[in-house]
Structure 1
Amino acid sequence: MLELLHIRRAEIQDAKALTALFEQPAVHRHMLQQPYPIATVWQDFLQPSLLRHVLVAECDSQVVGEIMLDGYTNPARKHVASIAMAVHTDFQGQGVGSRLMTSALDLADNWLNLQRLELQVFCRNEPAIALYKKHGFEIEGTLRRHAFRAGQFLDAYWMARVR
């Protein structure tokens, strides 16, 4: 299956597919986004930007994953970007996340000259934490009662990769 996986830049016409990806309960429960995403929000999000870089993983013309590097406008933090990703429920555990991360790190290191990548991940999301550690991210701290999700407050780890 992975040999059929294609990583590319997201385009505005991917908004509908990304909306469907984030509608999945097993996806949005691990994100800071609310359920019931709106396609027009994704259309706005995918507008060309010098600071935001969104990649998608595609298999048989279906978007099965997404990763985003979001830079900062503050000149003191221009060497930093936050990172967030999601993988379609049916494709989790098959290397899609690792391929997306490898592509995003190549973009960050070799094209954008980013020195620090940051992310937040819920402490209970062990598969994601393992993926991030595999790609050089380290836990820098715990954000207690970080977000309200599915009726409860959850802690999150602040993780970063510095080169």
Structure 2
Amino acid sequence: MSEPFDAQSVGSRLLQGHRVRFRELRDEDLPVLVRWWQNPDTVLFQNLTVAPRPEETIAEMFRSWSTNASSGNVGFSVVDRHTDELLGHVVLYGAALPVRAGTFAVMIGADHVNRGYGTDAVRLMTDFGFRELGLNRIELRVFAYNERARAVYRKIGYREEGVRREVAFHAGVFHDEVVMSLLAREWFTAEH
């Protein structure tokens, strides 16, 4: 006989990790997220090229990622679980039946890296994708030179499955992009 379903307990755990929690995007988040997105050091890890974009264009991008109008596209602000300080943003997009696969992206503000927030945010969004959205596969793309992010993804359980050769161009050099993925059965059989 299965355990009774405790909806309150499940609901509170869905969007809360050890160090971070996810919440809706708020208007006051946008200036900070825009500033981080415009930081060349951040853009170098997020985009194929480093080119300034209008603030409103970037703000609208975050808004569109965070409407949560369908279960196939969800985005959240990442905040410190204890202080509610904005740390970054996560999005899981492109999930649709019958494939049940989604693509994941995360941005943590430069002031908050190397503190475990990114690892917790990746773990939490991965768990949300499998447990709440019923995905079978989550994939992501990361530039080969972003060793820190690749190490975090591997630590969570993502596997490198391919390389898109020379897709980014920075500082006069072409760079590869690594495709990584994790399957639901791998997630549920691993220790977290």
Residue type matched to 2:37 in 1? Answer: F
Is it true that 1:130 corresponds to 2:114 in the alignment? no
Match of residue 111, structure 1, among 132, 145, 153: 132
CA contact (8 A) 1:54 1:66 kept: yes
Question: CA offsets per residue over residues 59-100 of structure 1, 9 Å max, x none?
Answer: 444321222111234x343x1000011111111110010110
Structure 1 residues 61 and 43: CA distance shift in structure 2, 3 A: same
TM-score, normalised with respect to structure 2: 0.73
Q: What SS does the aligned partner of 1:30 have? A: helix
Provide the aligned C-alpha RMSD in A. Answer: 2.3
Structure 1 spans left out of the alignment, 5+ residues: none
In the alignment of these two chains, the number of paired residues is 159
Structure 1 residues 53 and 9: CA distance shift in structure 2, 3 A: farther
Structure 2 distance, partners of 1:15, 1:4, is 25
Is it true that 1:26 corresponds to 2:41 in the alignment? yes
Structure 1 distance, partners of 2:98, 2:40, is 37
CA contact (8 A) 1:12 1:43 kept: no
Structure 1 distance, partners of 2:98, 2:168, is 27
Match of residue 112, structure 2, among 91, 115, 133: 91
Of 94-103 and 14-23, deviating more is 14-23
Structure 2 spans left out of the alignment, 5+ residues: 1-16, 185-192
Identity of aligned residues (%): 23
Structure 1 distance, partners of 2:175, 2:23, is 32
TM-score, normalised with respect to structure 1: 0.84
Structure 1 residues 62 and 36: CA distance shift in structure 2, 3 A: farther
